[in-house]
């Protein structure tokens, strides 16, 4: 079975940094793009970003660009989210999620198949 287990959440002061990890199992990790998505309690889903299966491409939501960095170690079946310059509004439950494929190129642009399996999430609280 596909399994995604996030870790690394916690309480951090505004302006601080945190690194989240996601351990994947049950599928060929490097065959799939991976995502981070966050959710504030009682609110909706907010996509953070994704990394292609070969780690060659990363994409971010505009509000995360420049502060968040997604990486992966395919030899360890692991996904990471480095978060810097954290703000109170970054407080959320952070999920990693598997895409349904590696992505593909068409007409000069890249497309992805969509998120299908989600981890349980790890909570990040930004507070002084």
- Residues in contact with another protein, counted by CB under 8 A, come to a total of 25
Query: What CA–CA distance (Å, rounded) separates 44 from 32?
Result: 25
Cβ burial of 65 (10 Å; 0-12, 13-18, 19+) is exposed
Q: Do 35 and 79 contact (CB within 8 A), yes or no?
A: no
Shortest Cβ 47–another protein spacing (Å): 4
23 binds another protein, rule: CB under 8 A: no
- State which of residues 1, 41, 44, 56 lies at the interface with another protein (CB under 8 A): 44
Query: What CA–CA distance (Å, rounded) separates 37 from 128?
Result: 24
Mark 70-99 with x for binding to another protein (rule: CB under 8 A) and - for no binding.
-------------------------x-x--
Q: Which stretch binds another protein (CB under 8 A): 11-19, 70-78, 82-90, 106-114?
A: 106-114
Query: What CA–CA distance (Å, rounded) separates 15 from 36?
Result: 20
- State which of residues 79, 83, 92, 121 lies at the interface with another protein (CB under 8 A): 121
Shortest Cβ 82–another protein spacing (Å): 19
DSSP string of 15-45, one letter each residue? T--EEEEEEEESS-GGGS-EEEEEE-TTS-E
Could you list the residues that contact another protein (CB under 8 A)?
Answer: 35, 37, 44-47, 50, 59-62, 95, 97, 109-112, 114-121
């Amino acid at each position: 079975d596909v399994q995604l287990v996030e870790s690394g959440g916690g309480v951090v002061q505004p302006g601080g940094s945190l690194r989240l990890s996601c351990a994947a199992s049950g599928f060929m990790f490097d065959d799939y793009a991976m995502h981070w998505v966050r959710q504030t309690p009682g609110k909706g889903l907010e996509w953070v970003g994704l990394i292609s299966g070969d780690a060659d491409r990363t994409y971010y939501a505009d509000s995360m660009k420049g502060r968040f960095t997604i990486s992966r170690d395919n030899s360890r079946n692991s996904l990471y989210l480095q978060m810097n310059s954290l703000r109170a509004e970054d407080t959320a439950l952070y999920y990693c999620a598997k895409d349904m494929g590696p992505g593909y190129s068409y007409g000069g642009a890249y497309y992805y198949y969509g998120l299908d399996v989600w981890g349980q999430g790890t909570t990040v609280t930004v507070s002084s």
